Chain A
């Protein structure tokens, strides 16, 4: 394993430190306990948005801290949820009095730690609402699992709920917009290779040269099915079909199509996937009104991608278009 690191146990500390230096105009980094806040937090009268999770998914979540998106991000160890002693001070730091929304990906650790932190922040007098993101259609049998995971849809929830908070929506309204995005978004991912967690030092799963893993999450955990390698169009079809079926997408629907890289796949290949997905949607009479293509929610250096489809309405579209200025996403300002 070759990695551009100094010490496997210092990866998150040093990376977050560098992130803070690189984006000092947008964010403030607290090192102990570790969390990242928007430079001008708390913004008077505005609902605060806090998200977080294990590190290794960059630019999620720290890269989305800034105007029009998150007020704070709380990074855990690599692929490990952050702890309440980080989440609570981050929540307090961005509370202007209008309350705070926690955006939580549906993983057991994230849910338990944010749940504990929300209880304790409420005891400190902060109103907290939680938006749980669980957009992963690869998890089929949700009664017998920890439930669908939060994956690509998380980026869209953070952007759109962030825009709602920025325009002045109150706490319940921001949480309701977040829930609405979650209800209308589905994702599915594929890995062509595993990733290597720095402190583990070996790949997170073993994949033969001619095999791919369909239905992966974002923590280097294996997926549901292992199949022989196929071409990009065939793989895209495998990802898209269950998404469209689950969402009940029909001719005449308007959608946002998001093709996300897992960290080790070039942009050019992501566009090949996008091309096929756009073709299939066009054939079905679905209008792709907005798009996003790039590495936004990753799994270290894993090769692969995820496809995310969000059913749009006029309000969600206008919130998507609203100005945003963060280290990883910027338009309109």
Chain B
């Protein structure tokens, strides 16, 4: 006790989404290149297009709560991204939004719960398990790290976000040796080993943007 609890409000959510859009634009070519190796060269293009649509929606109708911002993001991604990433990220943001409800501010416990809800949404839609070389391999370590940071109990949301981002980045790197068992890379069988999963990388970028927006 004794020190101020920093909350995450709707301004943070908008900054997060703006930084995510920037990250997708900045990493568009890198994501295309990763997808070219084990998929079909469209992930960077699709994510860039999807988050540009999110920015348009934010400008049209500014949201009142973090949950509303994430719901708007879900709808934009679902309708603009296509491929597997559209429904997967759409479901992730929608479940996170539902988890947050109408709360104007997010505390560490609510944040960890929202990240977990997002991961559970991805798993429910895509049916991938940890180790299948998908975005789940970034989400699951992020969920665990966020829960541990929230449980540490000093009330610092930034620590939770940083823990999630670092874990997601490590999770993405750890997909390198894996053999894909879901998504288009799975058709390559053993030849998918030695490449990083593009969906895990985009997940890490989005979670890093969330931390960046809280600083």
Which of B82, B180, B191 is within 8 Å of A80, CB to CB? B82
Which of B79, B126, B188 is within 8 Å of A112, CB to CB? B126
A219 and B184 contact, CB distance less than 8 A: yes
The closest CB in chain B to the CB of A115 belongs to B87
Known: A83-B78, A116-B87. A108 touches B182 (CB 8 A): yes
Contact stretch, chosen from B39-47, B112-120, B159-167: B39-47
For chain A, the bracket of interface size reads: 35 or more
Q: Chain A residues with Cβ under 8 A from B88's Cβ?
A: 112
Q: Within 8 Å of chain A (Cβ to Cβ): is B15?
A: no
Which of A141, A145, A219, A222 is within 8 Å of B191, CB to CB? A222
Q: Within 8 Å of chain A (Cβ to Cβ): is B181?
A: yes
How far does the alpha carbon of A76 sit from the alpha carbon of B184 in the complex, in Å?
Answer: 16
Per the 8 Å Cβ criterion, residues 89-109 of A in contact with B are: 107-109
Q: Within 8 Å of chain A (Cβ to Cβ): is B177?
A: no
How far does the alpha carbon of A78 sit from the alpha carbon of B81 in the complex, in Å?
Answer: 12
B42 and A113 contact, CB distance less than 8 A: no
Contact stretch, chosen from A152-160, A199-207, A243-251, A308-316: A199-207
The distance from the CB of A328 to the nearest CB of chain B, in whole angstroms, is: 23
The closest CB in chain A to the CB of B179 belongs to A144
The closest CB in chain B to the CB of A218 belongs to B40
How far does the alpha carbon of A123 sit from the alpha carbon of B184 in the complex, in Å?
Answer: 30
How far does the alpha carbon of A81 sit from the alpha carbon of B46 in the complex, in Å?
Answer: 10
| Count, chain B residues at interface, CB 8 A | 33
Q: Chain B residues with Cβ under 8 A from A116's Cβ?
A: 78, 87
How far does the alpha carbon of A226 sit from the alpha carbon of B83 in the complex, in Å?
Answer: 26
How far does the alpha carbon of A115 sit from the alpha carbon of B38 in the complex, in Å?
Answer: 25
Which of A109, A141, A204 is within 8 Å of B83, CB to CB? A109
The distance from the CB of B113 to the nearest CB of chain A, in whole angstroms, is: 24
How far does the alpha carbon of A205 sit from the alpha carbon of B187 in the complex, in Å?
Answer: 14
B40 and A221 contact, CB distance less than 8 A: yes
The distance from the CB of A237 to the nearest CB of chain B, in whole angstroms, is: 22
How far does the alpha carbon of A224 sit from the alpha carbon of B84 in the complex, in Å?
Answer: 21
Interface of chain A, main secondary structure: loop
The distance from the CB of A318 to the nearest CB of chain B, in whole angstroms, is: 35
A221 and B184 contact, CB distance less than 8 A: yes
Q: Within 8 Å of chain B (Cβ to Cβ): is A139?
A: yes
Q: Chain B residues with Cβ under 8 A from A85's Cβ?
A: 78-79
Known: A112-B88, A141-B189, A144-B181. A204 touches B82 (CB 8 A): no
A77 and B45 contact, CB distance less than 8 A: yes
Interface of chain B, main secondary structure: helix
Known: A112-B126, A224-B189. A82 touches B40 (CB 8 A): no
* Chain A positions 50 through 73: 1 when the CB is less than 8 Å from some CB of chain B, otherwise 0: 000010000000000000000000
Known: A146-B182, A224-B188. A113 touches B36 (CB 8 A): no
Q: Chain B residues with Cβ under 8 A from A204's Cβ?
A: 36, 40-41
Q: Chain A residues with Cβ under 8 A from B153's Cβ?
A: none
The distance from the CB of B187 to the nearest CB of chain A, in whole angstroms, is: 6
The distance from the CB of A197 to the nearest CB of chain B, in whole angstroms, is: 5
Q: Within 8 Å of chain B (Cβ to Cβ): is A217?
A: yes
Per the 8 Å Cβ criterion, residues 84-139 of B in contact with A are: 84-88, 125-126
B125 and A112 contact, CB distance less than 8 A: yes
The distance from the CB of A73 to the nearest CB of chain B, in whole angstroms, is: 15
Which of A83, A140, A197, A223 is within 8 Å of B40, CB to CB? A197
Which of B38, B39, B82, B188 is within 8 Å of A113, CB to CB? B82
Per the 8 Å Cβ criterion, residues 6-42 of B in contact with A are: 32, 36, 38-42
Q: Within 8 Å of chain B (Cβ to Cβ): is A38?
A: no
Q: Chain A residues with Cβ under 8 A from B187's Cβ?
A: 138-139, 145-146, 149, 217, 221, 223-224
How far does the alpha carbon of A83 sit from the alpha carbon of B81 in the complex, in Å?
Answer: 7
How far does the alpha carbon of A315 sit from the alpha carbon of B16 in the complex, in Å?
Answer: 58
How far does the alpha carbon of A62 sit from the alpha carbon of B84 in the complex, in Å?
Answer: 22
The distance from the CB of B137 to the nearest CB of chain A, in whole angstroms, is: 16
The distance from the CB of B183 to the nearest CB of chain A, in whole angstroms, is: 5
Q: Chain B residues with Cβ under 8 A from A219's Cβ?
A: 40, 184
Per the 8 Å Cβ criterion, residues 170-184 of B in contact with A are: 180-184
How far does the alpha carbon of A149 sit from the alpha carbon of B83 in the complex, in Å?
Answer: 15
Q: Chain B residues with Cβ under 8 A from A149's Cβ?
A: 187
Q: Within 8 Å of chain B (Cβ to Cβ): is A304?
A: no
Most buried by B among A107, A112, A217: A112
Q: Chain B residues with Cβ under 8 A from A83's Cβ?
A: 78-82, 86
Told that A199-B32, A200-B45 touch, could you supply 5 new A-B pairs with CB distance under 8 A? A77-B42, A77-B49, A81-B84, A108-B184, A146-B186
Show the binding face of B for A, using Cβ within 8 Å. Answer: 32, 36, 38-42, 45-46, 49, 78-88, 125-126, 180-184, 186-189, 191
